[in-house]
Amino acid sequence: MTCAPALKDRHGRTISYLRISVTDRCDLRCRYCMAEQMTFLPKAALLSLDEIAIIAERFIARGITKIRLTGGEPLVRRDVGDLVKRLGRHIGAKGAEGGLNELTMTTNGNRLAEHAPALVDAGMRRINVSLDSRDPDLFRHITRHGDVARVIDGIFAARDAGLAVKINMVALKGWNEHEIAPMLAWCSDEGLDLTLIETMPLGTVDEDRTDRFLPLTKVLDELKAQFPLVRDTHDSGGPARYWRRADSGTRLGLISPLTANFCDTCNRVRLTTEGILYTCLGHDDQVDLKAILRAEGLPGLDAALDAALLSKPARHDFDIAAATPAVARHMSVTGG
């Protein structure tokens, strides 16, 4: 593998962060993310784990320094641990093929207790766990059938195995807004960080997203009245802006694509489980890397990546009040 020029888009932004959806399937059905009855891709349409690794390694050679494995739920894919091991070998590597600063994952935590030790052994040091409520009944309602105790057990197992755990909580008006301050307090007590996320208009779901949209500008004002929050310069390589509890050191991240657009510093692209590269979460511009890899090999991949970045838009066009979602695909297809 030879070294190739770093990835830059037409707006001068350097692309250093790749999010990979290893599956569109999930063992939960969160109401803001999926319809209750989902049609998933046939297994024959998916990239093999070897193909995912080949594409990821070409991205690493082009300057990607951070990879996040997502889904759906990544831990429902059989043998995903083999992919983690293969990519983990690139952490801290140097030389012509480049290297990763970080390999991480976003999971719903349902199977985390089982997998946490292997993730650590493969070189993973940090993980995000989606947890929108610690109330058993509300959690079951949001996820349609989930068991919050199982998820919390997974969080503690990951922490005890040596993973730094950050909780991802989608702020949902009328559902969990009363739990945000207690969640921050709980995270501080348990040595966890917390990131709050505004709900995004992706795919058709069975709920009216305008009823659930909670602007994080309002949430932050309310949290500042309850906790000693100071601005933190921490940069995780993603879109979050950070504050910190001065009395505990717990970080609070805010991902607010609607009230505080962060597109001017976008450093990310997304690879779906069927091999489609999206350069923007909120647009449909795409390149079929699976077809190119199978037909042309690595030289074709390089040309495709360069062409894709020439079309990367300056920003997304999310509008929570629009009659139809910004894009038809669900978050689970693109990668959460």
Maximum CA extent, the chain: 58
The tokens describing 238, both together, are 């993603």
**C-alpha to C-alpha distance for 335 and 84, rounded to whole angstroms:** 16
**C-alpha to C-alpha distance for 88 and 2, rounded to whole angstroms:** 20
Residue 116 to residues 111, 279, 328, Cα–Cα distance (Å): 9, 30, 33
Taking a C-beta distance cutoff of 8 angstroms, is the pair 19, 70 a contact?
yes
Taking a C-beta distance cutoff of 8 angstroms, is the pair 198, 218 a contact?
no
Tell me if 19 is assigned to a ligand binding site.
yes
3-state secondary structure 173-186: CCCCHHHHHHHHHH
Tell me if 200 is assigned to a ligand binding site.
yes
Which among 159, 154, 160, 69 has a CA at the least distance from the CA of 114? 154
Pairing of the two strands 164-171 and 193-198: parallel
Pairing of the two strands 276-278 and 268-271: antiparallel
Tell me if 95 is assigned to a ligand binding site.
no
Tell me if 187 is assigned to a ligand binding site.
no
Q: How many residues does the chain have?
A: 336
> Taking phi first (over 0 means left), then psi (-120 to 50 degrees means alpha), and beta for anything else, what does residue 34 get?
beta
Tell me if 72 is assigned to a ligand binding site.
yes
Tell me if 270 is assigned to a ligand binding site.
yes
Tell me if 30 is assigned to a ligand binding site.
yes
Tell me if 38 is assigned to a ligand binding site.
no
**C-alpha to C-alpha distance for 97 and 4, rounded to whole angstroms:** 9
**Residue 229 forms beta bridges with which residues?**
245
Taking a C-beta distance cutoff of 8 angstroms, is the pair 114, 145 a contact?
no
CA angle 112, 115, 119 (to 5 degrees): 110
Tell me if 33 is assigned to a ligand binding site.
yes
Cis peptide before 81 (omega within 30 of 0): no
Tell me if 12 is assigned to a ligand binding site.
no
**Sequence ranges of the binding site for [4Fe-4S] cluster:** 26, 30, 33, 263, 266, 280
Q: Which residues are annotated as a binding site?
A: 19, 26, 30, 32-33, 68, 72, 106, 130, 166, 200, 263, 266, 268-270, 280
Could you tell me which residues are annotated as the binding site for S-adenosyl-L-methionine? 32, 72, 130, 200
Query: Which amino acids are annotated as binding site for GTP, given as ranges?
Result: 19, 68, 106, 166, 268-270
